[in-house]
Structure 1
Amino acid sequence: MELDLENPLSNVNDLFPAASTPSLFLLESHHMPTLYYINTLKATHLDISVRREAISSISQLSCKFGPFLPYLAITYLDRFLSSQGVAQPNTWVLRLVAISCVSLAAKMMKTDFSLADFQGDGGFMFDEQTVERMEYLILGALKWRMRSITPFSFVSFFISLFKVKDPPLKQALKARAVEIIFKAQLDTKLLEFKPSTIAASAVLSASHQLFDGKQFPSFKKAISSCSYVNKENMVKCTNWVEEIPMEGSESIWDYQHISSSGSEITTVTPRTEGDMKRRKINDYGTIIKTVDCPVSKRVLIHGPF
């Protein structure tokens, strides 16, 4: 069954968010990198370079398939590296890991593709058997937990705590939070936080950017009061999220009236279409934006690896 990052627990699709939310919070730790991996990234430049190179490859290989597929592939990458590492951080090994993570993500999201779609530029071309063997290695390292629980799984839940009535405003809040989550994935400092904490921080940061300042304290209180949220970690994560550069921090909305009672928004007026286009939300930070999906001469590599 196709993986939906907003609702990875497909067997409770019809019950989300009420029934599946507790399960998501309960299981999310199983879909995180190990603490050792996170500490290693903080301590050694080599491991950061390995991760950065692999992410760059994933972005190049999957630029035709939208932003969610590479996001999922990168979650597989971090979990794999935290479990197995790369004993030989050669360029071709990282390329093979990247291709395999993208291939697995495409299969989980039921995306039509051929292996040639993921070979891309990089000087190497791998046969199907080699990629398949690496896929099985990744599957084993991830304990076959491929229906990843990500921050996207919690965004709608946290937005629902705000009781936002206006649909366009709610969609704008969600879009900005999603934008923040995409960019946050590239920051190694945020790997230590649970997906739900990142989601809460992204929604809170988005509300700070889009809403009237008088409303922000009530939004912060709503999220902080959630029994699933560790307030201390959320504050720490939010402070780091706020440091993520965004393309235009101004609100895309002009407000006519915002109720001061509780956190209910009653009326909002969007800016002109031209302003909306100029402030078009970036799909995947700066990585996808700068990728041209080039093709060049490649070296065919057969297993073993």
Structure 2
Amino acid sequence: MAESFDSAESNLLCSENNSTCFDDVVVDDSGISPSWDHTNVNLDNVGSDSFLCFVAQSEEIVKVMVEKEKDHLPREDYLIRLRGGDLDLSVRREALDWIWKAHAYYGFGPLSLCLSVNYLDRFLSVFQFPRGVTWTVQLLAVACFSLAAKMEEVKVPQSVDLQVGEPKFVFQAKTIQRMELMILSSLGWKMRALTPCSFIDYFLAKISCEKYPDKSLIARSVQLILNIIKGIDFLEFRSSEIAAAVAISLKELPTQEVDKAITDFFIVDKVR
């Protein structure tokens, strides 16, 4: 059973007067913030240093990563609950809408965006938010993005400054920190998550037979990964499988070479 909002009352509610500990939420009465187009994530303004971390991993490291990646996935029934309506899909959509906007505003690297999505899906798979309480969605998005930025970015603004784009709700730092702690606890403090971006360098190197994949190819692969993970269908697959599919789709190779790359992956995959 997913933890409910009510079951976390000790964390979210003040015991003395039963008022929320998030009473410092400020509501902008001007209306809901506009919908943001995140069809594509523009990586043009991302510095080349953002791709320095994409270095082909050794077979031994990848084997360990494949073994560990299942620990960084949402609950197995998450996709079924999203498709069946048990979970409100609009919550995920709204949260991602804001995360994409904030990521574009600050020009952070792609890994922080991948981590934000990972934290969001893992949290939503184990924690049930009440329907209709809109401020919780924005608070969750801010907290996921803040945690991801702290994990990946060198320079991170104060959490209150991450709330960009005329948000309907504005949260104080202590409120965001409470939400961050709730996410950390719910995810078992496993924040160095393995995402498709973690595997893309390995598969590009495998398929291209180059130790260091071309940065332009990495950028195209990351762009495709970011576009894929906005939807829910990708939740059917492991991060390594998504990375393998993306690498193969962007590299035009003879059929026999593609088959060899896939075979090599499944040899690694046997360690699961």
TM-score strictly above 0.5: yes
User: Counterparts of 1:73-112 in structure 2 under 5 Å?
Assistant: 73-109=116-152, 110-112=154-156
The 2-side partners of 1:165 and 1:131 are apart by: 44
Deviation per residue, 1:34-83 (Å, 9 max, x gap): 12111111222862211101101112233213243222111100000011
**Alignment partner for residue 187 of structure 1, among 204, 226, 231?**
231
Size of the aligned set, in residue pairs, is 215
The 2-side partners of 1:41 and 1:174 are apart by: 31
User: Does structure 1 residue 55 correspond to structure 2 residue 96?
Assistant: yes
**Alignment partner for residue 268 of structure 2, among 228, 234, 251?**
228
- TM-score, reference length from structure 2: 0.71
One-letter identity of the residue aligned with 1:29? K
Instruction: Specify the SS of the correspondent of 1:112.
Output: coil
Could you list the runs of 4 or more consecutive aligned residues of structure 1 that deviate by over 6 angstroms after TM superposition? 4-8
Instruction: Specify the SS of the correspondent of 1:53.
Output: helix
Partner of 1:123: 168
* Superposition deviation, residue 154 in structure 1: 1.1
* Superposition deviation, residue 17 in structure 1: 2.4
Deviation per residue, 1:161-203 (Å, 9 max, x gap): 2244597x84443332222111110120111211000000000
Aligned residues: percent identity? 31
The 1-side partners of 2:147 and 2:211 are apart by: 38
One-letter identity of the residue aligned with 1:78? D
One-letter identity of the residue aligned with 2:65? L
Which segment drifts farther, 65-74 or 145-154? 65-74
Question: Could you say if the C-alpha distance between residues 166 and 196 of structure 1 is closer, same or farther in structure 2, counting changes exceeding 3 Å?
Answer: closer
Question: Could you say if the C-alpha distance between residues 70 and 52 of structure 1 is closer, same or farther in structure 2, counting changes exceeding 3 Å?
Answer: same
**Larger RCO, structure (CA 8 Å, separation 6 or more):** 2
Partner of 1:199: 243
**Alignment partner for residue 33 of structure 1, among 50, 66, 74?**
74
Structure 2 unaligned residues grouped into runs of 5+: 1-49
The 1-side partners of 2:97 and 2:144 are apart by: 13
The 2-side partners of 1:80 and 1:62 are apart by: 20
The 1-side partners of 2:262 and 2:126 are apart by: 32
Partner of 2:256: 218
One-letter identity of the residue aligned with 2:205? S
Structure 1 unaligned residues grouped into runs of 5+: 231-305
- TM-score, reference length from structure 1: 0.64
The 2-side partners of 1:150 and 1:140 are apart by: 20
The 2-side partners of 1:85 and 1:5 are apart by: 36
Work out whether residues 33 and 78 of structure 1, in 8 Å CA contact, stay in contact via their aligned partners in 2.
Answer: yes
RMSD, matched Cα: 2.7
Question: Could you say if the C-alpha distance between residues 171 and 53 of structure 1 is closer, same or farther in structure 2, counting changes exceeding 3 Å?
Answer: same
One-letter identity of the residue aligned with 1:182? L
The 1-side partners of 2:82 and 2:51 are apart by: 26
